[in-house]
């Protein structure tokens, strides 16, 4: 077995669903990315302006090959049936269980140690999942893991798109795989039609400022008034453009059990969540991706979802939030109260 094959076998043994190799050359769609940034479509995600994304050798000068990896997470349609009579929210399925930013690095460390052992001397390497200055989708496509769909996600023809990406930049030469050149979207436009805010653009990018995933996770300030109704009951992330994708019929059912839904997921009880104290929030979401939105962002989202529920049973909890909370949550709770009262009035 070649060194490349040995490394791939070990990656699969460690739980990665897909593994392939690409060169350290600049990502082919860097100009698309730069244009996207220049139009401000990244909103407040300033970390994306790190120009090392233009070339992996700016991240690791000795880089000779990049191992691209993907790990499956739960298909959102596998969530338990939600029969609650009380208003409930929806959480994107990658965030139902343990945070992948905690889980995947454990496997990356083990894989890097395996590579060092095989090569016999301290090989230079650097690994990331999500947070590094690396254009992960572009490099994963070039490594042959799948194509970039119109919804901008990397889709594998056998596994769909419920995949998280990671990479190890290596100072050793491995055999590069063939890029995935085909575009299997064809004439389909389901994701574009289904996106609640219409933020999917024709050049396989999205206007992140309008994306519900950005608004519920990355935006730390007010949610623009025109987007609040469109949020429906999404309180952390959004899966719509993947749920409608026909390629997710092939979504892998096999994922690390720590990604399984924790109690209260995937449909948290909105009235109960609105009353979470800082200690309760920190305890509940200690190892969950939800902690990224911080308590204030999460409760802001909960307030909007309660407003969208139109359920007058939520008014008392919202009034308490208006009295007790900081200005960001207060303003969204007031919006929610007005929305519920107006919906009631409109129905009379």
Positions touching ligand SF4 (CB under 6 A) are 149-151, 185, 188-191, 195-197, 199-200, 206, 211-213, 238, 240-241, 244-247
| Binding flag, residue 17, ligand B12 (CB under 6 A) | no
Of the candidate residues 45, 244, 322, 328, the single one contacting ligand B12 (CB under 6 A): 45
DSSP string, 186-248: TT--HHHHH-TT--B-TTS-B-GGG-HHIIIII--SPPPHHHHGGGTTEEE---HHHHT-GGG
As annotated, the active-site residues are 130
| Binding flag, residue 208, ligand B12 (CB under 6 A) | yes
**Helix, strand, or coil (residue 18):** strand
| Binding flag, residue 270, ligand B12 (CB under 6 A) | no
**Closest distance of CB 83 from ligand B12, Å:** 24
Rounded (10°) angle between helices 327-347 and 294-309:
10
| Binding flag, residue 256, ligand B12 (CB under 6 A) | no
Q: Left if phi > 0, otherwise alpha if psi is -120 to 50, otherwise beta: which for 5?
A: alpha
Of 335, 91, 86, nearest to 227 by C-alpha is 335
**Closest distance of CB 193 from ligand SF4, Å:** 9
Q: Is residue 24 within 8 Å of residue 170, measured between CB atoms?
A: no
Q: Is the peptide bond before 266 cis (omega within 30 degrees of 0)?
A: yes
| Binding flag, residue 273, ligand B12 (CB under 6 A) | no
| Binding flag, residue 129, ligand B12 (CB under 6 A) | yes
Of the candidate residues 14, 25, 32, 328, the single one contacting ligand B12 (CB under 6 A): 32
**Closest distance of CB 197 from ligand SF4, Å:** 5
Residue 196: name its binding partner from ligand B12, ligand SF4, none (Cβ under 5 to 8 Å by kind).
Answer: ligand SF4
Of residues 206 and 329, the one with the C-beta less far from ligand B12: 206
Residue 96: name its binding partner from ligand B12, ligand SF4, none (Cβ under 5 to 8 Å by kind).
Answer: none
Of residues 241 and 336, the one with the C-beta less far from ligand SF4: 241
**Closest distance of CB 121 from ligand B12, Å:** 29
What tokens were used for 23?
């060169």
| Binding flag, residue 205, ligand B12 (CB under 6 A) | yes
Burial class (CB in 10 A: 0-12, 13-18, 19+), 273: buried
**Closest distance of CB 332 from ligand SF4, Å:** 18
| Binding flag, residue 99, ligand B12 (CB under 6 A) | no
Q: Which residues inside 282-341 make contact with ligand B12, applying CB under 6 A?
A: none
- Which stretches of the chain are DSSP H helices? 3-13, 30-38, 56-59, 100-119, 136-143, 190-194, 212-213, 225-228, 240-243, 270-274, 278-284, 294-309, 315-324, 327-347
DSSP state of 269: B
- Binding footprint of ligand B12 on the chain (CB under 6 A): 29, 32-33, 36, 45, 48, 92, 94, 129-130, 134-138, 141, 148, 151-154, 161, 163-165, 203-206, 208, 211, 213-214, 217-218, 237-239, 241
């Amino acid at each position: 077995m070649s060194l490349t094959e040995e490394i791939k076998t070990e990656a699969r043994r460690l739980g990665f669903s897909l593994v392939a190799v690409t060169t350290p050359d600049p990502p082919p769609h860097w100009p698309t990315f730069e244009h996207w940034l220049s139009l401000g479509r990244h909103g407040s995600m300033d970390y994306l302006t790190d120009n090392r994304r233009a070339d992996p050798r700016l991240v690791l000068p000795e880089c000779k090959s990049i191992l691209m990896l993907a790990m499956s997470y739960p298909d959102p349609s596998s969530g338990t049936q939600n029969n609650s009579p009380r208003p409930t929210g929806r959480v994107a399925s990658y965030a139902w269980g343990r945070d992948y930013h905690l889980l995947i690095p454990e496997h990356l460390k083990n894989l890097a140690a395996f590579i060092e052992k095989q090569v016999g001397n301290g090989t230079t390497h650097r690994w990331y999942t999500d947070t590094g200055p690396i254009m992960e989708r572009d490099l994963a496509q070039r490594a042959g893991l799948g194509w970039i769909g119109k919804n901008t996600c990397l889709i594998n023809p056998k596994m769909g798109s419920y995949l998280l990406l990671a990479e190890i930049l290596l100072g050793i030469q491995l055999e590069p795989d063939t890029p995935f050149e085909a575009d299997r979207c064809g004439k389909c436009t389901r994701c574009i039609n289904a996106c609640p805010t219409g933020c999917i653009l024709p050049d396989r990018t999205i206007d992140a400022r309008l994306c519900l995933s950005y608004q519920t996770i990355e935006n730390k300030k007010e949610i623009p008034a025109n987007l609040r109704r469109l949020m429906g009951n999404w309180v952390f992330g959004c899966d719509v453009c993947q749920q409608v994708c026909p390629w997710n019929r092939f979504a892998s059912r096999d994922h690390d059990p720590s990604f399984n839904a924790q109690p209260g997921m995937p449909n948290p009880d909105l009235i109960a969540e609105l009353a979470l104290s800082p200690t309760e929030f920190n305890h509940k979401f200690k190892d969950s991706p939800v902690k990224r939105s911080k308590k204030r962002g999460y409760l802001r989202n909960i307030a909007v979802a309660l407003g969208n529920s139109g359920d007058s049973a939520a008014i008392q909890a919202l009034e308490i939030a208006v009295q007790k909370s900081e200005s960001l949550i207060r303003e969204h709770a007031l919006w929610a109260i007005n929305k519920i009262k107006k919906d009631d009035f409109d129905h009379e």
